[in-house]
Chain A
Amino acid sequence: MAVAPSAAVRPPNLVAAPKMTDEMFRLLRDFIYQKTGIYFQDNKKYLLEGRLGKRLQVLGVDDFEDYFQSLRYGTQSNDEMKFLYDAVTINETFFFRNEPQFEAFEKTLVPQRLNGKSASGRTKLRFWSAASSSGEEAYTLAMIYLERLRPKYPLLDIEIVGTDINSSVLETARSGIYREYSVRNMPKFFLEKYFDASDGRFHISDHVRRLARFEHMNLYDRNRMRMMTCFDIIFCANVLIYFDMRSKIQVVSDLYDSLNPGGFLFIGYAESLHGISSAFKLVNFPKTVAYKKE
């Protein structure tokens, strides 16, 4: 039936995957926390072990101790950090993922922000998709602007910034090329108007791509965060869950500072700022909640 595999060599992935001791897990967890604020609970050890284990196999490294040493002191450590960041982030997302937020954005928040600015002359609003992953959220905002906002407010310009700690998803975002899974929740109308389908992939059209730019950003890096200022609306969904209390408090405080007075923050559906920040005013919308900087 099958061609006989050469007897002397076994596929590398059948060799027992390197085991991570609890002590090693603690060291790696602390290291990752120091760098990114992302905190791995004990019950997520399997995730780190599995993902980093695969990285070890590709590198041909036998055990985690060696890997950890090279992360900290090796000459290629900066490059390797990129792989580490890739390994610790969970990137699942898709277009039009959180509809109540986009509804509130389109129907209430943008109009409110515009009221605060001059009635005549061009106005520019800035939006930030923090932890943008492969860009679906950022481009969704761009499409909503093109389709629904610009016709109503022809003098409105927008700037969308998407950031993430994971470099490979940023590449995907910049390319604007997506698979079926990412577009599965999109209203057909948007899919047809703003995407070209070819080869089983969906290419977002250029005038949408132009509205967003993507940068590498570690939300836990205060100096970098201080450089993100004057945003009108920030979307930070489904990333705070990976931080512990302390790092959440720091990140949210920096997000507050990044907003213009009167600006809004959105977080994920199942998330809460309770016990994390009392600086915002909570504003309710149908099926969702936003946090306003007064």
Chain B
Amino acid sequence: MKDEMKVRLAALLSADDPAVRRRAAEGLAESTGFAPIAALAAALRDENKGVRDAALRSMSQIGSDNVARAAVEYIADENITTRNLAAELLMKLKDHSVDALVPYLYDADQDVRKFAVDILGLIGNEDAINHIIILLDDQDENVVVSAAEALGNIRAKQAIPQLTHVFELHQYAQVPVAEALGKIGDQAAADFLLKHFSAMVANREADPLLLYAVIESLGLIGYDKAIPMLESNIQSVAGRLRYVLLHAIIRIAERCNHSLDSLKNYQSDLIDALHNDDTAVQISAVKVLSGIKGYEITAALLEVVAASEELDAVLIPALELRDDTFRAIVELLEQDKIKPTKEVVALLGRVSSRIDYQRIPKELLDEASNYLQRAVELVKHSWTDASEETRAAIVDTLSRLDGDHAVEFLAAITDDPDPWLRIHIIELLAPLEDRRIPDFIARFLNDDDQMVREVAASTLESKGYSQRIESSALGTAEIN
């Protein structure tokens, strides 16, 4: 074993062919002991990218304190690629890197100090906190800002007094400190931020970026005493900041089980917020809007379906509960305001199942059936361009919308390339009482896919039809 390793080490250090060096670096991934680790660390400086990549991977795999110790000096290397590789490795090694990094917080070069504190902040280990607090007093502004950021990432409660001190001392550090306080989250932090919030709103000259950071942080902390002050200032804050403010209020209210009723007055801001880039803001908006009735709201909610999975988790249940969702989907699809994505198609199917035609008053029955027909046409129309998953949704929804109509359409889809979908169609057709069904299913007896043929055969058999299938792939069926 040891000899093999020596051979690998030699290859690593001296082979001409980079592929050999790369193999050697990969092969050292299981090693222990300082020599292979040192060799791998040196390979971080190899001229070939593939070799550097293999060295990085192997060192991450070994993942010990020794690796961190061998790699850390490279964060001060003159070559930026080497520095970055070393940093990436140290971050992957997490807690193993902390002791090795701490001395570099005191390096003479401010870029090295900053680099070290950034890495420690991302690792998130609490042992470094006291050292990082010292750096809040650093001469270099970037180091101070990075220290604040790192303390926020580590959630260092004990740093709050020093952080608030820095906020008041250095204007350049205010935004990062505000953000850090939000991540740390503590009543002391919240009180401090609230105090500054009220001062800033009153002051027209206040930095909007700082105001944003303070509001966000208050929302993150979830301090209920902030609500009255935040609510009373909604009107004073304009533009994008307003729905950030609304979002913060909603967040806090949820955490503290506070009612959201008063926010219903801000309907149009909340509808705007639905289109915000930040999913969390969108979700908050949905939560309040779902408590407000009205077609305009239903339409606004539908327009953001399928934008993100996280948002859909809140949005779709909310839409299912609304009375006008079916109508809205049909109309918005016709106006091309929404696309027939799988989420929209599936939602259409589910809401239609809920419609109780017995309870619809006679005069509205025609209208209801008209919408139903339009829905069927829209769904059929979206078939050609639909993806695999969407086609599965279309098949389900069609059978819910109109069983009879669905039969013809489904039976025509013997041409779908997905065998699972063809099986699904057989399953959907099977329990239906329509005399065309056996013929339709029988077409699948000639299918290319063995599984599909088997399912078709057993389905027909158990429905009480015997058939004769010739042993060749092209079979015929005979219905008795």
The chain A residues found within 8 Å of chain B, CB to CB, are 1-6, 9-14, 50-51, 54-55, 57-58, 83, 90-92, 134, 168, 172, 179-182, 184, 200, 249, 253, 256-257, 261, 277-281, 293-294
Q: In the complex, A58 Cα to B423 Cα: how many Å?
A: 11
Q: In the complex, A253 Cα to B426 Cα: how many Å?
A: 43
28 contacts across the A-B interface (CB closer than 8 A)? A1-B434, A2-B434, A4-B464, A5-B464, A10-B462, A11-B430, A11-B431, A11-B458, A12-B458, A12-B459, A12-B462, A13-B426, A13-B427, A13-B430, A14-B430, A57-B455, A58-B455, A58-B458, A92-B387, A92-B418, A168-B419, A168-B450, A181-B415, A261-B18, A277-B53, A278-B85, A279-B50, A294-B50
Instruction: Judge whether B462 and A181 touch: CB under 8 Å.
Output: no
What is the 8 Å Cβ interface bit string for chain B, positions 446-475, against chain A (1 contact, 0 not)?
Answer: 001111001100110011110000000000
Instruction: Judge whether A2 and B433 touch: CB under 8 Å.
Output: yes
Q: Which of B416, B437, B451, B459 sits near A13, CB closer than 8 Å?
A: B459
Q: In the complex, A104 Cα to B114 Cα: how many Å?
A: 41
Q: In the complex, A87 Cα to B81 Cα: how many Å?
A: 43
Q: In the complex, A280 Cα to B53 Cα: how many Å?
A: 9
Instruction: Judge whether B464 and A181 touch: CB under 8 Å.
Output: no
Q: In the complex, A172 Cα to B427 Cα: how many Å?
A: 24
Q: Which of A6, A10, A279, A293 sits near B54, CB closer than 8 Å?
A: A279
Q: In the complex, A180 Cα to B414 Cα: how many Å?
A: 11
Q: Which of A51, A179, A257 sits near B420, CB closer than 8 Å?
A: A51
Given contacts A179-B416, A277-B53, could you give 5 more A-B pairs where the C-beta distance is less than 8 Å?
Answer: A13-B430, A57-B455, A179-B417, A180-B415, A253-B57
Q: In the complex, A78 Cα to B217 Cα: how many Å?
A: 57
Q: In the complex, A251 Cα to B464 Cα: how many Å?
A: 50
Q: In the complex, A180 Cα to B416 Cα: how many Å?
A: 8
What is the 8 Å Cβ interface bit string for chain B, positions 71-93, against chain A (1 contact, 0 not)?
Answer: 00000000000000100100000
Q: In the complex, A20 Cα to B418 Cα: how many Å?
A: 23
Instruction: Judge whether A9 and B464 touch: CB under 8 Å.
Output: yes
Give how many A-B residue pairs fall within 8 Å (CB-CB): 99
Instruction: Judge whether A1 and B433 touch: CB under 8 Å.
Output: yes
Instruction: Judge whether B49 and A54 touch: CB under 8 Å.
Output: no
What is the 8 Å Cβ interface bit string for chain B, positions 416-442, against chain A (1 contact, 0 not)?
Answer: 111110010011001101110110000
What is the 8 Å Cβ interface bit string for chain B, positions 226-266, against chain A (1 contact, 0 not)?
Answer: 00000000000000000000000000000000000000000
B48 lies within 8 A of chain A by Cβ: yes
Determine the residue in chain A with the shortest Cβ distance to B451: A58
Residue numbers in B under 8 Å from A51 (CB-CB): 420
Given contacts A2-B437, A3-B464, A13-B455, contact A92 B388 (CB under 8 A): yes
Instruction: Judge whether A184 and B448 touch: CB under 8 Å.
Output: no
Q: How large is the interface on B (under 10, 10 to 19, 20 to 34, 35 or more residues)?
A: 35 or more
What is the 8 Å Cβ interface bit string for chain B, positions 395-423, against chain A (1 contact, 0 not)?
Answer: 00000000000000000000111111001
Instruction: Judge whether B418 and A91 touch: CB under 8 Å.
Output: yes
Min CB gap A150→B, angstroms: 30
Instruction: Judge whether A11 and B49 touch: CB under 8 Å.
Output: no
Residue numbers in A under 8 Å from B50 (CB-CB): 256, 279, 293-294
Instruction: Judge whether B52 and A54 touch: CB under 8 Å.
Output: no
Q: In the complex, A161 Cα to B384 Cα: how many Å?
A: 30
Instruction: Judge whether A11 and B459 touch: CB under 8 Å.
Output: yes
Residue numbers in A under 8 Å from B463 (CB-CB): 5-6, 11
Instruction: Judge whether A11 and B462 touch: CB under 8 Å.
Output: yes
Q: In the complex, A51 Cα to B430 Cα: how many Å?
A: 18
B56 lies within 8 A of chain A by Cβ: yes
Residue numbers in B under 8 Å from A253 (CB-CB): 26, 53-54, 57
In order of increasing CB-CB distance, the 7 nearest A-B pairs are A279-B53, A6-B464, A5-B464, A11-B462, A279-B50, A92-B388, A13-B427
Q: In the complex, A253 Cα to B26 Cα: how many Å?
A: 10
Instruction: Judge whether B388 and A90 touch: CB under 8 Å.
Output: yes
Min CB gap B302→A, angstroms: 23
Instruction: Judge whether B48 and A58 touch: CB under 8 Å.
Output: no
Min CB gap B123→A, angstroms: 16
Q: In the complex, A93 Cα to B458 Cα: how many Å?
A: 30
A-facing residues in B32-56 (Cβ within 8 Å):
48-50, 52-54, 56
